[in-house]
Amino acid sequence: MRCILLKYGELILKGLNRNYFEKLLLNQIRNRLKPIGKFEVVSMQSTVYVTPVGNDCDDDMLIEPAFKAVGNIFGIVSLCIAYCAPKDMDSIIAVAKQYMPQEIRKYKSFKADAKRCDKKFPYTSVDIMKTVGGELNELCPEVKVDVVNPEITVMVEIRDRYAYIHAGSCEGAGGMPKSSSGKGLLLLSGGIDSPVAGFMMAKRGVDVQALHFESYPYTSERARNKVIELARKLCVYTDTMKFNIISLTEIQEAIRDNCDEEYFTLILRRFMMELAQRVAFRNKCASIITGESLGQVASQTMHALGVTGEGIRLPILRPLIAFDKEDIVKISRKIDTFETSVQPYEDCCTVFTPRHPKTRPEMEKIREQESRLDRQKLLDSAFETLNTMILERE
């Protein structure tokens, strides 16, 4: 019999609140597995055990897709497919000899290791690794034993129910379980940065919703679909996402017609933040999330960030604030958003872009520029264009 072992990360540090985090994690794991088949999902000793159940269950048909499904759930730092054996040395050796040689022979060197979580087991970890390692070495003499830097490690874990034998673990998504840190509203553009910001906050346990601003007819239907596709890629980790869209066309035209060009972007971003706060309040989000990186563009200097965030009551979370572009691109490639982000469809921030934007704006001059606009009417009118859809993991 095979099962999947999922190892905790930060959850083990949560003390008296640990049960709350575990419950969120187990619920997400069970939800991910429902379309695949029936599984027992239990938590013991800082590990989640996922085992197919049912008399007619096909181990090969269930384990592999289940392993893929749970591999990017936040809160898990490592995972592996393990073979289960009764907790006696003869059974452990028999299972190791049956299944591990085909894994070992793929490499040039190996070692055996052991972890004795059940201290009642009559053999020490050293006894286990020597015995299992010796048996496997006899079966695979062509593979070198290297206890310092092996290419593959055969692990025997003695736990509550069984002994688990596997050939190493894969890296999990890490972070904290979904919804463990509350809700946040991500300002999702069509660029590289904001999807990465959403991913990073989701990794910290934030239930991420998204808000996209469009400027039809200055931006196209293809631009909207591009951003929806980016949101769907985040659903690989978040399962679902509430996706909101607001039109900024009227606001941008009013700014163009009434304000000095160098202030266009700053005034627009102030409108965006106020509208985001309205959407956040409606959806009970406790924060606003942006993909801003300090100094990356003119609207992201310290002075500009202070101006755009002025008057906003919710925390503005900027997970990329100290990242350079190479850092951000690296993560975007990892989460498979980069190729979509670089598709050449303009978003609202590229409409009416000033030739020489202010990098050290003064609040008094910003207010003077805004006094030329009927801000409240523009905000109310834009908010009425709010359209919401629910996206799901494919």
All domains in the chain, ordered by first residue: 2-171 (3.30.2130.30), 183-392 (3.40.50.620)
The SS3 of residue 307 is helix
Instruction: Report pLDDT for 101.
Output: 96
The Cα–Cα gap between 284 and 184 comes to 9
Tens of each residue's pLDDT in the chain, 394 residues: 899 999 988 887 787 888 999 999 999 999 999 999 999 999 988 899 999 987 555 566 889 999 999 999 999 999 999 999 999 999 999 999 999 999 999 999 999 999 999 999 999 999 999 999 999 999 999 999 999 999 999 999 999 899 999 998 999 999 999 999 999 999 999 899 999 999 999 999 999 999 999 998 888 899 999 999 999 999 999 999 999 999 999 999 999 999 999 999 999 999 999 999 999 999 999 999 999 999 888 888 999 999 999 999 999 999 999 999 999 999 999 999 999 999 987 766 666 777 777 888 899 999 999 999 999 999 999 999 999 999 999 8
> Residues, the chain, total?
394
DSSP line for 187-206: E--SSSHHHHHHHHHHHTT-
Please tell me what DSSP assigns to residue 261.
Answer: G
Please tell me what DSSP assigns to residue 123.
Answer: S
Exposed e or buried b per residue across 76-106, where buried means at least 16 C-beta atoms within 10 angstroms of its C-beta: bbbbbbbbbbebebeebbebbeebbeebbee
User: How far separated are the first and last CA of the chain, in Å rounded?
Assistant: 29
Instruction: Report pLDDT for 252.
Output: 94
DSSP line for 81-100: EEEEE-SSHHHHHHHHHHHS
